Amino acid sequence: MFFSSRRATRFSRYLIASIFILWNNVIFAHGLPEFTGMVEENRSSIVNISTIQKVSTESRLPPGFEMPEGSPWGELFKRFNGEEGESEPQQRDATSLGSGFVLSEDGYIMTNHHVVKGAEEIIVRFHDRREFKAELIGSDPRSDIAVLKIDADDLPEVKLGKSGETKVGEWVMAIGSPFGFEHSVSVGIVSAINRSLPNETYVPFIQTDVAINPGNSGGPLFNMEGEVIGVNAQIYSQTGGFMGLSFAIPMDIALEVAEQLKDSGHVSRGWLGVYIQNVDRGLAESFGLKNPKGALVSKVFEDSPASKGGLEQGDVIIKYNDKDITYSSDLPPAVGRTKVGSKAKLTVIRKGDTITKYVTIEALPESDQLSKKPADKHYKDSSLGLSIAPVPDEMGKELNLVGGVLVTRISGGPAKRAGLKRGDVILRLNGTRIQGIFQFRKLVKGLPKGRAASIYVHRQSDQPPIYLALKIPE
**Full set of structural domains in the chain with CATH:** 159-264 (2.40.10.10), 270-363 (2.30.42.10), 379-471 (2.30.42.10)
- % of the chain beyond a pLDDT of 70: 80
What is the distance between the alpha carbons of residues 31 and 1, in angstroms, rounded to a whole number?
Answer: 42
What is the distance between the alpha carbons of residues 423 and 474, in angstroms, rounded to a whole number?
Answer: 28
User: DSSP string of 91-160?
Assistant: EEEEEEEEEEEEEETTTEEEE-HHHHTT-SEEEEE-TTS-EEE-EEEEEETTTTEEEEE-S-SS--PPEE
Question: Within its chain, how far is the Cα of 451 from the centroid?
Answer: 33
Residue 50: active-site member: no
More confident residue, 411 or 155: 155
- Residue 382 confidence (pLDDT) above 70: yes
Give the long-range contacts of residues 83-92, CB within 8 A, separation 24 or more.
87/58, 87/59, 89/56, 89/57, 89/58, 90/56, 90/57, 90/58, 91/54, 91/55, 91/56, 91/57, 92/54, 92/55, 92/57
- Residue 50 confidence (pLDDT) above 90: yes
Residue 330: active-site member: no
**pLDDT tens profile 233-264:** 988 776 667 778 999 999 999 999 999 999 98
Question: Within its chain, how far is the Cα of 208 from the centroid?
Answer: 15
CB 367 within 8 A of CB 273: no
- Residue 314 confidence (pLDDT) above 60: yes
**pLDDT tens profile 150-201:** 999 999 999 999 999 999 999 999 999 999 898 999 999 999 999 888 767 7
- Residue 57 confidence (pLDDT) above 60: no
CB 247 within 8 A of CB 236: yes
- Give residue 425's identity as a one-letter amino acid code: V
Instruction: Give all strands of the β-sheet with 131-133 in edge-to-edge order.
Output: 131-133, 121-125, 46-57, 90-104, 108-111, 145-149, 135-140
- Averaged pLDDT, 1-21: 57
- Name the least confident of 59-68, 155-164, 191-200, 409-418: 59-68
- Averaged pLDDT, 17-31: 55
**pLDDT tens profile 424-455:** 899 999 888 888 887 888 888 888 888 888 99
- Residue 61 confidence (pLDDT) above 60: no
Quick count: other Cβ atoms within 10 Å of Cβ 82? Answer: 7
Q: Band of the pLDDT at 226, cuts 50, 70, 90?
A: very high
Q: Strand (E) positions, 361-459?
A: 362-363, 379-381, 386-390, 405-410, 425-429, 432-433, 452-458
pTM higher than 0.75, yes or no? Answer: no
Say what the pLDDT of residue 394 is: 72
- Residue 138 confidence (pLDDT) above 60: yes
What is the distance between the alpha carbons of residues 333 and 172, in angstroms, rounded to a whole number?
Answer: 24
What is the distance between the alpha carbons of residues 468 and 416, in angstroms, rounded to a whole number?
Answer: 11
Q: Strand (E) positions, 150-254?
A: 159-160, 171-176, 184-197, 200-208, 220-222, 227-235, 246-250
What is the distance between the alpha carbons of residues 321 and 201, in angstroms, rounded to a whole number?
Answer: 19
More confident residue, 366 or 101: 101
- The catalytic residue among 50, 113, 144, 163 is 144
Residue 114: active-site member: yes
- % of the chain beyond a pLDDT of 90: 50
- The catalytic residue among 59, 87, 106, 114 is 114
- Residue 266 confidence (pLDDT) above 60: yes
- Averaged pLDDT, 97-109: 95
Q: What SS3 state is found at 38?
A: helix
Q: Band of the pLDDT at 20, cuts 50, 70, 90?
A: low
- The catalytic residue among 99, 139, 217, 387 is 217
**pLDDT tens profile 327-369:** 998 999 999 999 999 999 999 999 889 999 999 999 988 654 3
Say what the pLDDT of residue 373 is: 38
Say what the pLDDT of residue 81 is: 47
- Average predicted confidence (pLDDT) for the chain: 83
- Residue 474 confidence (pLDDT) above 90: no
